[in-house]
Structure 1
Amino acid sequence: MNYSIGMTHLCQYALISGVIALVEYQLIVSSNMVTGISQLLILIIGEFMVCSAGQNLEDEREAMAASLYLTPWYKLPPELRSTFTIFLAKMQMPLHFEAKPIIHLNYEFLMKVLKGSYTFLMFLQKKSSQTSTYR
């Protein structure tokens, strides 16, 4: 699962904050509200769906690890105890839905995208207001 999306989508996820900010800026300066809002909703909902799937994967792995840890392993037959300990150790390893090599797609990443898009939007607005005052 750790090779789930790969290098093909890395560029998309690296640039998504800028794309969202540009659509927001277009929405602010444009008179066509319907197109801008629909584009913005498609981008944000699509990103939310991917990040939600990644967060659900992480949450379910943690829940499975916790319930497995609370299993009364001492009641297992001796030949299954070694298999159980290997399985328990494997469940302690993190499992992420990610765009290799660096991006874990979860709610934390979604918040970084939204914060980045807001920061870039404020930069665009500031630059726009500076150029309009010089005219």
Structure 2
Amino acid sequence: MALYILCHAGQIIQDGTESIGMAAYNSNWYSVDIDTQKDVLFIIRQCQKPSYLQALPLGEFNHSLMLMILKTSYSFLTFLTQTT
């Protein structure tokens, strides 16, 4: 359960980073003063590479990591049930 919570939180962080960039892009950033335009463009640039929680030997915590762990666990379980 703890692994699922970590993977889900990591996925939320990735999705949130991407949605912040899209929200900044879809705003009327071009109709404000130059300093604010530069700030919004900086936010958009930074959000192009999403933030994530890193699981050092496995990659990053997200739904694909959770799926990989579930598949591997199921494979081990079926292997153990067939050998006994």
Sort the TM-score into its range (normalised by shorter chain). Answer: 0.7 to 0.9
What residue is the counterpart of 2:79 in the other structure? 123
Q: Report % sequence identity.
A: 26
Amino acid at match of 1:112: M
- What's the offset of the Cα at 1:80? 2.5
Aligned residues between the structures: 84
1:89–1:51: structure 2 CA closer, same or farther, 3 Å change rule? Answer: same
Secondary structure, counterpart of 1:98 in structure 2: strand
Q: 96-105 vs 83-92, which deviates more?
A: 96-105
Pair 102,48 (structure 1): closer, same or farther in 2 beyond 3 Å: closer
- Three-state SS of the structure 2 residue aligned to 1:110 is helix
Q: Distance in 1 between matches of 2:63 and 2:57?
A: 18
Amino acid at match of 2:13: L
Q: Larger Cα Rg: Structure 1 or Structure 2?
A: 1
Structure 2 unaligned regions, length at least 5? none
Where in structure 1 are there 5+ consecutive unaligned residues? 1-44, 129-135
Residues 101 and 90 (structure 1), Cα distance of their counterparts in 2 relative to 1, 3 Å cut: farther
Output the TM-score relative to the length of structure 2: 0.86
Match of 2:67 in 1: 111
Superposed, which structure 2 residues align to 1:14-29 within 5 Å? none
| Structure 1 length-normalised TM | 0.57
Q: Of Structure 1 and Structure 2, which has the larger fraction of its residues in strand?
A: 2
Pick the aligned partner of 1:56 from 9, 12, 20. Answer: 12
Higher relative contact order (CA 8 A, sep 6+): 1
Say what the alpha-carbon RMSD is for the aligned residues.
1.5
Separation of aligned partners in 2, 1:49 and 1:108:
13
8 Å contact 2:21–2:43 — kept in the other structure? no
